[in-house]
Amino acid sequence: MCNKTKCDKSAFQKSRRKVLKGIAAGVGALALPASNASASVWEAFFQKHFRELDKTELQQVLARLESEYSKEFGKTVNVKATPPIEGVKYGYGLDLSRCIGCRRCVYACVEENNQSRDPQIHWIKVLQLDKEKGVYLDHAEHYYNPAEVPEQGKFYMPIQCQQCENPPCTKVCPVQATWPENDGIVVVDYNWCIGCRYCMAACPYGARHFNWAKSKLPKDEMNPETHYLGNRPRPTGVVEKCTFCVQRTREQPGRYPACEEVCPVGARKFGNLNDPKSEIRYLIENKRVFIFKEDLNTQPKFYYFYAT
């Protein structure tokens, strides 16, 4: 390993790569004769952290994933790694005076983001609350299922990742497998996460979800337009979360997140916080807005508001 403490970063990385290669060669030599594991298994095993991949390495990783997924799902799957757009900071608004709790967003999210159907993973939770009690979660109903919504005297509060400016979840990760990107989206490197679930304990919004078993994702329902940090299929034993549909929103022009697009009452708003003419800026400046669990100083970029 690197004995000199004064060695600079590139030298340090080089030595680290050497170590990794050495280990890879060693373990590979030991294990390969015993099993006919393909080389990509080892490539995946020794893959570096996303942020340490250089351009060619990243291309190799994306190509490997694309071929793996294409084979698994029987169609051409694209895995992009589109970087954040310069000068953009995403914000999300949710109009509590409009939401009717129909859960269209929940399932649009599942379909767009290739969540496991069984065991079921939902990135969005919709709580039914009493108008009389307000945002007092002790009386929240997670499993409401009446014939029709909205119900008398109730209001609905969808909760998903709040994309905190000061995220408690990324701070606690022991291996830096999750971090906030420059556009404010908190992402996970599913190939680096060790599955310790400390981030889940740290998240005040229940926004992080664990792959308790191998995800079941029907081939015909699989969305083949994916992002490395977003909706690509997830391995077992790692944590995943909402990314504001990074595979859509980082494009030029960028589509709205799936949950925004599907909302039948237009309760969901999305845009660039740095753009004074965006919807999100308008609502922050002109509407009654509240931040969920503001006292925890997580500084969410998810704004609940009342249009009326």
Between the alpha carbon of residue 244 and those of residues 61, 139, 225, 260, the distances in Å are 23, 28, 15, 10
Q: How far is the CB of 249 from another protein (least distance, A)?
A: 7
Contact pick of 25, 63, 194, 289 for another protein (by CB under 8 A): 194
70 or 293: CB nearest another protein: 293
Q: How far is the CB of 83 from another protein (least distance, A)?
A: 15
Instruction: Report the alpha-carbon angle 200-111-57, nearest 5.
Output: 70
Judging by DSSP bridges, how do beta strands 78-80 and 225-227 pair with one another? Answer: parallel
Q: Which two tokens stand for residue 230?
A: 């977003």
Restricting to residues 130-159, which ones interact with another protein according to CB under 8 A?
Answer: 136-138, 140, 142-150, 159
Q: How far is the CB of 297 from another protein (least distance, A)?
A: 8
Restricting to residues 164-193, which ones interact with another protein according to CB under 8 A?
Answer: 168, 171-177, 192-193
Q: How far is the CB of 290 from another protein (least distance, A)?
A: 16
Restricting to residues 247-306, which ones interact with another protein according to CB under 8 A?
Answer: 249, 252-256, 260-261, 263-266, 268-272, 278-279, 282-283, 286-287, 296-298
Q: Which two tokens stand for residue 20?
A: 């990794």
**Of 247, 250, 265, nearest in space to 111 by CA:** 247
| Measured distance CA(304)–CA(96) in Å, rounded | 6
Q: How far is the CB of 193 from another protein (least distance, A)?
A: 7
Q: Does 238 bind another protein (CB under 8 A)?
A: yes
Restricting to residues 199-218, which ones interact with another protein according to CB under 8 A?
Answer: 200-206, 208-214
Check: CB of residue 233 under 8 Å from CB of residue 69: yes
Restricting to residues 15-34, which ones interact with another protein according to CB under 8 A?
Answer: 16, 19-20, 23
Q: Which residue has the tokens 């990107």?
A: 181
Q: Does 61 bind another protein (CB under 8 A)?
A: no
| Measured distance CA(154)–CA(129) in Å, rounded | 6
